[in-house]
Amino acid sequence: SGRKMKDADYRPTLHFTPPFGWMNDPNGLIYHAGEYHLFYQYHPFSNQWGPMHWGHAISKNLIEWTHHPIALKPDKQGMCFSGTAVVDKTNSSGLFSHQDGLLAFFTLAGEKKPADPDYPQSQGMAFSHDNGRTWEKYAGNPVIPNPGLQDFRDPKVFWYEPNACWIMVVTLGQCVGFYRSDNAVDWAYLSSFGQADGKHDQRAWECPDLFPLVCEETQQVFWILIVSIQRKGFHPNSGGVQYFVGHFDGHTFTNIHAPDVTKWLDFGKDFYACQTWANMPLEDDRRIALGWMNGWPYGGETPLSGWRSAMNFPRELRLHKTEDGFEIRQAFIRELDNQLTEHSGTFAEALENESLMIPVSLPYRFIVRLQTETKSALSIQLTNDLILNLVQEQGKQTLTIERSRMHQDTFFDQHFPCHCEFSFQGNNPVDLDVLVDRCSVELLINQGEQAFSFLSFPEERLKQITLKPVQGITRLVQMKLYL
């Protein structure tokens, strides 16, 4: 294809990637004994999806990761699909002679026989006595046999204090089910949610997560349920992560919005299988989310060979009361402030006829507040294959993101280019917080009201950001650059 860039040129510096091989969903995100653990769906023997293992890495700050040996491997019971890690603080499972052992719950995906529509799925458990360094599978697996469903996977488990029990949220086809257990081994079905709520496609809902968040304005506690859908996200033929705001009483989840209301965590094409860290330190009550920065339609075709896929940059989630009900806003984790250095310069305050070019090197973070005047349009080129356009007309602002395709791979070419459009009312300033790494652009708009994640594989690097006035005047109210 005449590519000038190699694998290493695309390997990001701020985003997690596997040492080699294929990676997809983040799994078992947990903080324990001063360490953040990231497990992930992993095929170490190829850069394509294959028999699933749990890869493992540990960090002190969610940005710099140390690779550890594979945590879970396929065996005669099956592959190790997605799941959770938890701290068994009270030794409810009876598996630990001391307190604070780790449990992992994962989906056992058995051998597919000719008549099976998919890998037969049941829930398994493993345990670790040494802070997650080594894992042993529970001898009595599966802890929940398949109830007769093709899609029964991705268990999310947490301790529910009011009832002093474990709760599991798990995919039941196109909805999720809730189970409870006192000892993490014996599970009883409680209820299900989602048959008539939110967005669906012909495939299963995936990777559920359920956690409490306090509304910033009212101080009420709500429960947030996250699920990923594979093909009908915000973009046609793309995956997406939707969320529901509601109440959970230890038995049932109740959506506080109308069933047909869809709320998306990200409006880009490369954010999927989102999970949040459990057991955060007491002094840090943040809810931090991580997604897989790729998409199934082209995930196995990206122009990489030795390794494939990265995770999104971790984000802090906050719940706000808005005109449209309750909504999540996002921010890049504050640990990013220690990674990049602010570079201030003199910038033109009003852009009218001439482009402004700002020299950059990767990775960089660009924070800008733009005040658009009536009938104005501004184009911002961030990479060789990704351009933002901001148009102001009749009290409405429209942001479009254009991602072009530059390589000659027909299959990839067909799915990768996209045109993403988002409108918001008013003449208020528009805040952009952009994080660009070697193969990605992530954008938060208006204090994280909307998030956009996009892979970017330019054939050549741009050495500057270009702000080009297309029509009218755009004022730069504030600008910060971090390199």
E strands present in 323-385: 325-332, 342-343, 350-351, 356-359, 364-372, 376-383
Contact 379, 388 (CB under 8 A): yes
Residues whose CB falls within 8 Å of the CB of residue 193, separated by 6 or more in sequence, listed in order: 175, 176, 178, 225, 244, 252, 253, 255
Q: Is 25 a catalytic residue?
A: yes
Structure tokens at 474: 């755009």
- 224, 215 contact by CB (below 8 A): no
Structure tokens of 286?
């943040």
Distance (Å, whole) CA 47 – CA 10: 15
Residue 71 in contact with residue 54, Cβ under 8 Å? yes
Three-state SS at 173: coil
Active-site position among 7, 25, 182, 201: 25
Tell me the three state secondary structure of residue 161. helix
List, in sequence order, every residue forming a beta bridge with 306; answer none if it has no partner: none
Q: Which residues are bridge partners to 238 per DSSP? A: 232
Please, are residues 151 and 121 in contact by the beta-carbon 8 Å criterion?
Answer: yes
Distances, alpha carbon 278 to alpha carbons 253, 288, 290, 465, 482, in Å: 19, 9, 12, 37, 30
Token pair listed for 385: 């294959």
Instruction: Give me the sign of the Cα torsion angle 342, 67, 305, 42.
Output: negative
Q: Say how many Å lie between the first and final Cα of the chain, rounded.
A: 31
CA–CA separation, 109 and 114 (whole Å)? 15
Active-site residue numbers? Answer: 25
